[in-house]
Chain A
Amino acid sequence: MDRRDFLKNLGLCIFSGGIIGGLSADAWAKLIHKDYDPAKHYYGMGIDIDKCIGCGRCMQACKTENDVPIAPFYFRTWVERYVIRTDHSVSVNTINMGVDEPSDLFIERDVLRSFFVPKLCNQCDHPPCVQVCPVGATFKTDDGVILVDSKRCIGCRYCIQACPYGARFLHPQTRVADKCTFCYHRLVRGMLPACVEVCPKQARVFGDTKSFASPLGRFVRMNKIHVLKPYLNTEPKVYYANLDGEVN
């Protein structure tokens, strides 16, 4: 083989590699509706702790919408209940997991403050899961959502280890990593994520982080905002209002 042939073959290899590398993008492209332009959006979610009543409808809606196994160990979104007693001890549990402490365990005068914290994938702008995925199955879309290409994921679970928020799980049927997608299949049709749509208190607000006028734009203007574990530099795009310092 002379040098010219070698270079030609090398070029071919790189080109075909590019095609294979482009598969994640292809899987994503299939999701996108023809009238939808991802470059025009950059999504985030606002959560007002003071509004959440812990009804758990968001959890149910999410499981139904996204075919998440019903067993209480697989959640794309969940709600934690915090009870802080007057002696500053903290009790936390996930609501509706079948291991709820009976509510009479807390004597009212012993409770300093109590609140619910909805949790989901933070759709980090600097996502550790994307960084560690060995095959590039987890990727960030142009509109800022972190997705998993279930056709490519090898199920090594490195992303699950790397997520500081416990937002990922291995789907027991597909045997690949699974997590909240902000209901991406709905977004591309101009709809809201299921959890946002069903929340009776509008504790969850969804929209464009770049837009001044979107509900989310208004939410981050009108509230003092905090994100989870900011010291890890993951730059979450789920913004909490009235978040207690005990929450992590």
Chain B
Amino acid sequence: MEAAHGLSELSKQVVGFIYPNEIEIHWSILIVVYPYITGLVAGAFILASLVKVFNVKELQPTYRLALLTALAFLLIAPLPLQLHLGQPTRSYEMFLTPNLASAMAMFGFVYLWYLMLVLLLEIWFEYRRDMVVWSREETGLRKWLHKVLSLFSTDISEKAVAFDQKTVKIITIIGIPSAFLLHGYVGFIFGSIKANPWWSSVMMPIVFLFSAIVSGIAIVMLLYMIIIPLRGAKIDMKCLDKIASFLFYAVIVDFSIEVLDFIHRLYESEESIKILSQLVDTKLFMSLVVLQVLLGMLLPLGIMIVIKIFRLHEELRKLLYFVSAVLIQLGIFSTRWNVVIGGQLFSKSFRGLTTYKLELTGIEGFLMALALLIIPFIVLAILIKILPPWKKEELAGQ
């Protein structure tokens, strides 16, 4: 038996005592990818909502991009879950006979609510006028594509467009708590497991939420900085400074919450503190202390403080923003890793640590995880092709 052979290799690396069934890490890299992706969805949506609900005009150039980013990632979000199931062909059971007491059973409903009622509707109303216009100007396949996507609507009178805009605003207002629900809920899946002291925390949904906002804002910032120059247009620095400013505050809030959680655990010093300290000192040192905290949080914070204090030149600012956003992505991915994998590396007997070996190939391997992280960008590229976020004159004007 191949699985058993792999596990006996692992058993040599166990430190201390673990329950014998605990040698296998049950939630692997795919379950790290899942909350990372839903976090990007929620965060990107929150950034978009800043434009519509809070009237942050500077962010307008990223509004549609943020919506499409959220959609691209949301479409792929269930894939890692599906692939990870022991019996993937039975996943429909979660819709047919959900156990209402189970946090996980709500996934389908939260997901569908967010996809159907929030994102798709908002994007449709936002693009409706443009789709009608495009379908009139274009020929061939694109004409029909936009015709179908606009559901054959033709009315672009001022009244109709005003209605669209009002609807978008209402959907966004519903969308903000929905985005909170989507990712806070993912945090709850972990936070409600009382058997696991690394997960079991009322802070978990909140930590998930703010890290989601951080990662979502950062990904839209990155995409904006990459796509705009690729299209030969100029980056709107006002917009970029504003995003960076929101990113800065989001990181501060996220960092404060995580520090609070950390201090709280340390101060309460419950039964699990010894094994958790050992976990952080050894198995998670690289991914938590170095990647998540130092490189993923403190360094970008430092960079952004420097940008705020010294009035740096535009080109240097761009470079530093870019570096910060990349570091933040790395940090948030490490956060997900530390929660999901970290929570399974110690024994529930609190007497030992096990180990996780990431395979290169296979369904739960590194390449699969990488593919799942790349696919949303391909989806996004297609979405941008079908529903261009910027008008030509906008790009020319910037």
A contact residues vs B (CB 8 Å cutoff): 17, 20-21, 23, 69, 71-75, 78, 80, 90-94, 97-99, 119, 128, 130-137, 152-158, 160-170, 172, 175-177, 232, 248
Point out the residue from B24, B344, B350 that lies within 8 Å of A73, measured CB to CB. Answer: B24
- Interchain CB contact under 8 A, A152 and B90: yes
- Interchain CB contact under 8 A, A71 and B4: yes
Q: Please, which residues of chain A bring their CB within 8 A of the CB of B24?
A: 73, 169-170
Q: Output the least CB separation between B85 and chain A (Å).
A: 5
B195: Cβ under 8 A from any A Cβ = yes
Q: Please, which residues of chain B bring their CB within 8 A of the CB of A163?
A: 195
- Interchain CB contact under 8 A, A232 and B195: yes
Q: Bound complex: CA of A155 vs CA of B30, how far in Å?
A: 14
Q: 0/1 per residue, B96-112, Cβ < 8 Å to A?
A: 11110111110100000
Query: Would A166 and B99 be within 8 Å (CB), given that A157-B86, A161-B27 are in contact?
Result: no
Q: Bound complex: CA of A75 vs CA of B23, how far in Å?
A: 11
- Interchain CB contact under 8 A, A154 and B20: no
B357: Cβ under 8 A from any A Cβ = no
- Interchain CB contact under 8 A, B349 and A162: no
Q: Please, which residues of chain B bring their CB within 8 A of the CB of A119?
A: 19
- Interchain CB contact under 8 A, B17 and A93: yes
Would you mind naming 25 contact pairs between A and B with Cβ atoms under 8 Å apart? A69-B4, A73-B21, A74-B21, A91-B17, A94-B17, A94-B19, A130-B101, A131-B101, A135-B94, A135-B98, A135-B99, A135-B105, A153-B90, A155-B86, A155-B90, A157-B27, A157-B86, A161-B26, A161-B344, A166-B18, A166-B21, A169-B24, A170-B24, A172-B3, A176-B87
Task: Give 4 nearest A-B pairs by CB, closest first.
Answer: A155-B86, A166-B19, A71-B4, A164-B195
B393: Cβ under 8 A from any A Cβ = no
Q: Please, which residues of chain A bring their CB within 8 A of the CB of B86?
A: 153-157, 170, 175-177
Using a CB-CB cutoff of 8 Å, which residues 331-390 of chain B contact chain A? 344, 347-351
**In chain B, what residue has the closest Cβ to A248?**
B349
Q: Bound complex: CA of A165 vs CA of B22, how far in Å?
A: 10
Q: Please, which residues of chain B bring their CB within 8 A of the CB of A170?
A: 24, 26, 86
Q: Output the least CB separation between A154 and chain B (Å).
A: 4
The prevalent SS among residues of B at the interface is loop
Q: Please, which residues of chain A bring their CB within 8 A of the CB of B81?
A: 156
Q: Bound complex: CA of A155 vs CA of B81, how far in Å?
A: 11
B11: Cβ under 8 A from any A Cβ = yes
Q: Name 4 extra pairs, CB < 8 A, besides A21-B97, A73-B20, A132-B193.
A: A73-B11, A166-B348, A169-B24, A176-B86
**In chain B, what residue has the closest Cβ to A95?**
B20
Q: Which of A74, A128, A132, A172 has the most CB of B within 10 A?
A: A132
Q: Bound complex: CA of A91 vs CA of B17, how far in Å?
A: 8
Q: Bound complex: CA of A164 vs CA of B21, how far in Å?
A: 12
Q: Bound complex: CA of A225 vs CA of B9, how far in Å?
A: 39
Q: Bound complex: CA of A119 vs CA of B102, how far in Å?
A: 26
Q: Which of B17, B96, B97, B104 has the most CB of A within 10 A?
A: B97
Q: Please, which residues of chain B bring their CB within 8 A of the CB of A98?
A: 8
Q: Bound complex: CA of A133 vs CA of B104, how far in Å?
A: 8
B313: Cβ under 8 A from any A Cβ = no
Q: Please, which residues of chain A bring their CB within 8 A of the CB of B97?
A: 17, 20-21, 23, 135-136
B315: Cβ under 8 A from any A Cβ = no
Q: 0/1 per residue, B19-47, Cβ < 8 Å to A?
A: 11111101100000000000000000000
**In chain B, what residue has the closest Cβ to A150?**
B87
- Interchain CB contact under 8 A, A153 and B87: yes
- Interchain CB contact under 8 A, A166 and B104: no
Q: Please, which residues of chain A bring their CB within 8 A of the CB of B189?
A: 158
- Interchain CB contact under 8 A, B194 and A169: no
Q: Please, which residues of chain A bring their CB within 8 A of the CB of B230?
A: none
B316: Cβ under 8 A from any A Cβ = no
Query: Would A134 and B1 be within 8 Å (CB), given that A156-B86, A164-B195 are in contact?
Result: no
- Interchain CB contact under 8 A, B104 and A158: yes
Point out the residue from A133, A165, A167 that lies within 8 Å of B99, measured CB to CB. Answer: A133
Q: Bound complex: CA of A71 vs CA of B5, how far in Å?
A: 9
- Interchain CB contact under 8 A, A134 and B94: yes
Q: Bound complex: CA of A64 vs CA of B72, how far in Å?
A: 50
- Interchain CB contact under 8 A, A73 and B23: yes
Q: Which of B20, B99, B105, B350 has the most CB of A within 10 A?
A: B20
Query: Would A20 and B195 be within 8 Å (CB), given that A72-B20, A135-B105, A168-B21 are in contact?
Result: no
B245: Cβ under 8 A from any A Cβ = no
B158: Cβ under 8 A from any A Cβ = no
Query: Would A97 and B194 be within 8 Å (CB), given that A73-B7, A157-B27, A161-B26 are in contact?
Result: no
Point out the residue from A69, A80, A156, A172 that lies within 8 Å of B104, measured CB to CB. Answer: A156
- Interchain CB contact under 8 A, B85 and A156: yes
B150: Cβ under 8 A from any A Cβ = no
Q: Please, which residues of chain B bring their CB within 8 A of the CB of A91?
A: 17
Q: Bound complex: CA of A158 vs CA of B98, how far in Å?
A: 14
B93: Cβ under 8 A from any A Cβ = yes
Q: Bound complex: CA of A73 vs CA of B8, how far in Å?
A: 8
Query: Would A154 and B87 be within 8 Å (CB), given that A99-B11, A135-B97, A161-B196 are in contact?
Result: yes
